[in-house]
């Protein structure tokens, strides 16, 4: 199997995870709440245009109108070239320059025309969006200085209460709004960071899941190939070698041809993701009996097979695990045991089914570390299906392999201690 497919699947999984996070967050592309500035821009435009229209309707010299309108119009490029970039990237220094220019231009305009005071409704939020709360409050106070001086200079005693009321409303609004806006900005930053972390976490989970799936599939295929094709080829080689040393090789050649055909059936079943060939159209005891009989024919051993208990209806995965375990166990007897006789027992109990393979060969040392791929693969396959494996030396000599698979759900199965304390 090529590694390109798992890698490509991993990349697709990572991209999909990031897309799901972005789509699920809705406005995750705009990480901060204030990046959508249309509402504030509309408020600023209305607060500038309203006094501009009022100036146009007043009866004053054209030169004064032109100066006032120019000052009001200058607020727009100040926002576009200084304010908006500073707000978006949170550049406090650039924001301070922007607010300072706002104070200067607004003060000059309000000294010439008192109605320009209305622009404070759009300019005060700009201070809090561009600066921290304390600095923004100072900026708001600076903006209120020029209207206050203009009002006192005109000696409008009758309207003093109204002006003070308006000033207090602006200050209160600016303070409350500023604190609220700062909290919103902080929460928005935290939310944006959480979204980034979630996207990275989901992408990492998708990558690890894809890699885990690819690794599990490679391990499964490696186990299937080892338990079927590799063992079949080993049997064919041994039979052909035996045929070379015989005067009449027909028997060994016939067995080799039959093994090759069964190996071909295994390969086709593996490709088609079907059940193992030994189980096609037959029961589990019949398939195990054929495996035992084949070992006796190929290796010239006395092999017996016995079934005990009433066979229940086992799930196909459990039967597959038992077939693979029997194949591996019998293959190990043929390659390593140097045995004269082998006994295969399939015993059905109330809650489990036990496969036991016993031989009278040379046995093994329980303290010796397990080696080889076959036994490890068998143990992994059995444990993944909820069963247990134990291997040990027989007191009278030889080796016992025992595989216990639960008939009930896997969570009811219990692990077994290996025979011989291993």
Q: Would you list the DSSP string of 307-336?
A: EES------HHHHHHHHHHHHHHHHHIIII
Predicted confidence (pLDDT) at residue 359 exceeds the cutoff of 70: yes
Buried b / exposed e along 262-294 (16+ C-beta atoms within 10 A):
bbebbbebbeeeeebbbbeeeebeebbbebbeb
Q: Which two tokens stand for residue 345?
A: 């027992």
Residue 196 has pLDDT above 70, yes or no: yes
In order of 223, 406, 417, 418, the CA distances from 410 in angstroms are 21, 6, 17, 19
Percent of the chain at pLDDT exceeding 90: 16
Same domain (yes/no): 69, 172: yes
Nearest to 321 by CA among 227, 203, 213, 210: 227
* Res 307 pLDDT > 60: yes
Confidence of residue 22 (pLDDT cuts 50, 70, 90): very low
Residues 305 and 173 in one domain: no
Report the candidate in 339, 327, 254, 326 with the shortest Cα–Cα distance to residue 300: 339
Domain containing residue 104? 4-203
DSSP 12-37: HHHHHHHHHHHHHHSSTTS-SGGG--
Using the 3D structure, point to which of 184, 203, 222 is the last residue of a domain.
203
Report pLDDT for 77: 93
Range of lowest pLDDT (5-9, 108-112, 293-297):
5-9
pLDDT at res. 224: 64
In a domain, 27, yes or no: yes
Same structural domain, 292 and 178:
no
Q: Among residues 203, 231, 262, which one ends one of the domains?
A: 203
In a domain, 152, yes or no: yes
Residue 401 scores a pLDDT above 60: yes
Q: Please report the pLDDT score of residue 253 as a whole number.
A: 76
Do 292 and 184 reside in the same domain of the chain?
Answer: no
What is the predicted pLDDT for the residue at 240? 76
Mean residue pLDDT of the chain comes to 76
How would residue 410 be classed by pLDDT, with cut points 50, 70 and 90?
A: very low
Same domain, yes or no: 307 and 171? no
Strand partners, 391: 401
Determine how many CB atoms are found less than 10 A away from the CB of residue 397: 12
% of the chain exceeding 70 in pLDDT: 70
Comparing 317 with 27, which gets the higher pLDDT? Answer: 317
Residue whose pair of structure tokens reads 């791929």 in the numeric block: 373
Is residue 118 situated within a structural domain? yes
Q: Cα–chain-centroid distance for residue 17?
A: 7
pLDDT recorded at residue 97: 93
Q: Is residue 257 part of a domain?
A: no
Cα separation, 13 vs 19, in Å, equals 10
Average pLDDT over residues 224-244: 70
Q: What is the reported pLDDT for 404?
A: 93
Contact 337, 389 (CB under 8 A): no
Kindly report the CATH number assigned to the domain that includes residue 323. 3.30.565.10
Which of 15-29, 99-113, 128-142 has the highest average model confidence (pLDDT)?
Answer: 99-113
- In this prediction, residue 368 carries a pLDDT of 52
> What per-residue confidence (pLDDT) applies to 408?
62
213 belongs to a structural domain:
no
How far apart, in Å, are the Cα atoms of 84 and each of 41, 53, 339?
A: 9, 25, 87
Kindly tell me if the per-residue pLDDT of 66 is higher than 70.
yes
Confidence class for position 364, pLDDT limits 50, 70, 90: low
The pLDDT of residue 230: 67
Q: Looking at 61-70, 84-93, 257-266, which range is the least confident one?
A: 257-266
pLDDT at 349: 84
pLDDT beyond 60 at 20: no
Q: Which helix (H) or strand (E) holds 86?
A: helix 84-89
Split at pLDDT 50, 70, 90, the class of 26 is very low
Which pair of tokens denotes residue 296? Answer: 């006796």
> In degrees, to the nearest 5, what angle opens at C-alpha 15 toward C-alphas 10 and 21?
125
**For residues 123 and 41, is the Cβ–Cβ distance under 8 A?**
no
Let me know whether 199 and 307 are in one domain: no
The whole-model pTM stands at 0.42
Q: Which pLDDT band holds residue 216 (cuts at 50, 70, 90)? A: low
13 and 151 share one domain? yes
Domain count, the chain: 2
What's residue 100's pLDDT? Answer: 94
Angle at CA 200, nearest 5°, toward 206 and 196? Answer: 145
Q: Which of 101-105, 130-134, 160-164 has the highest mean pLDDT?
A: 101-105
Assess whether 57 and 164 both reside in one domain: yes
Inside any domain, residue 141:
yes
217-249 core/surface letters (b: 16 or more CB in 10 A; e: else):
eeeeeebbebbbebbbeebbebbeebbeeeeee
Name the domain boundary from 203, 233, 259: 203
- The strands making up 302-308's β-sheet, listed across from edge to edge, are 302-308, 341-348, 352-359, 399-406, 388-393
- Helices 120-130 and 38-57, axial angle in degrees (round to 10): 150
**Which of 26-40, 157-171, 305-319, 365-379: highest mean pLDDT?**
305-319
What confidence score (pLDDT) does residue 271 get?
58
The model's pLDDT over 265-304, given as tens digits with 9 standing for 90+, comes to 666 666 555 445 555 557 888 888 888 888 888 778 888 9
Mean pLDDT computed over 163-172: 68
Q: Is residue 31 part of a domain?
A: yes
The model's confidence at residue 226, banded by pLDDT at 50, 70 and 90, is low
> First vs last Cα of the chain: how many Å apart?
36
Q: Is residue 251 part of a domain?
A: no
């Amino acid at each position: 199997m090529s590694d390109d497919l798992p890698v490509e699947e991993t990349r697709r999984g990572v991209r999909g995870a990031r897309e799901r996070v972005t789509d699920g967050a809705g406005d995750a592309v705009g990480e901060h709440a204030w990046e959508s500035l249309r509402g504030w821009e509309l408020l600023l435009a209305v607060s500038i245009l309203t006094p501009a229209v009022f100036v146009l309707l007043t009866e004053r010299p054209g030169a004064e109108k032109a100066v006032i309108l120019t000052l009001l119009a200058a607020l727009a490029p100040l926002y576009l070239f200084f304010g908006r970039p500073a707000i978006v990237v949170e550049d406090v220094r650039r924001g301070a320059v922007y607010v300072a220019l706002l104070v200067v231009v607004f003060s000059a305009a309000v000294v010439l025309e008192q109605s320009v005071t209305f622009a404070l409704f759009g300019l005060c939020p700009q201070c809090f969006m561009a600066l921290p709360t304390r600095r923004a409050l100072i900026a708001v106070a600076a903006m209120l200085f020029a209207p206050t001086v203009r009002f006192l200079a005109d000696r409008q005693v009758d309207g003093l209460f109204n002006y003070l009321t308006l000033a207090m409303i602006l200050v209160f609004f600016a303070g409350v709004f500023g604190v609220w806006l700062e909290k919103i900005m902080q929460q928005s930053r935290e939310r944006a960071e959480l979204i980034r972390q979630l996207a990275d976490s989901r992408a990492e989970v998708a990558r690890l899941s894809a890699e885990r799936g690819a690794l599990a599939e490679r391990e499964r295929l490696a186990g299937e190939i080892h338990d079927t094709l590799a063992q079949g080829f080993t049997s064919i080689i041994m039979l052909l070698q035996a045929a070379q040393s015989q005067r009449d090789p027909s028997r060994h050649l016939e067995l080799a041809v039959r093994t090759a055909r069964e190996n071909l059936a295994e390969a086709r079943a593996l490709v088609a993701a079907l059940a193992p060939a030994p189980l096609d159209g037959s029961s589990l005891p019949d398939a195990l009996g054929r495996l035992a009989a084949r070992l006796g024919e190929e290796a010239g051993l006395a092999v017996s097979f016995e079934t005990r208990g009433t066979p229940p209806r086992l799930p196909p995965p459990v039967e597959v695990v038992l077939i693979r375990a029997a194949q591996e166990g019998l293959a190990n007897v043929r390659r390593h045991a140097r045995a004269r006789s082998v006994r295969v027992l399939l015993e059905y109990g109330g809650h489990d089914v036990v496969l036991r393979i016993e031989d009278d060969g040379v046995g093994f040392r329980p303290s010796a570390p397990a080696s080889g791929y076959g036994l490890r693969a068998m143990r992994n396959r059995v444990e993944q299906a909820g069963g247990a494996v134990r291997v040990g030396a027989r007191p009278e000599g030889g080796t016992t392999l025992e595989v216990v698979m639960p008939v009930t759900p896997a969570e009811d199965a219990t692990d077994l201690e290996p025979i011989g304390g291993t």
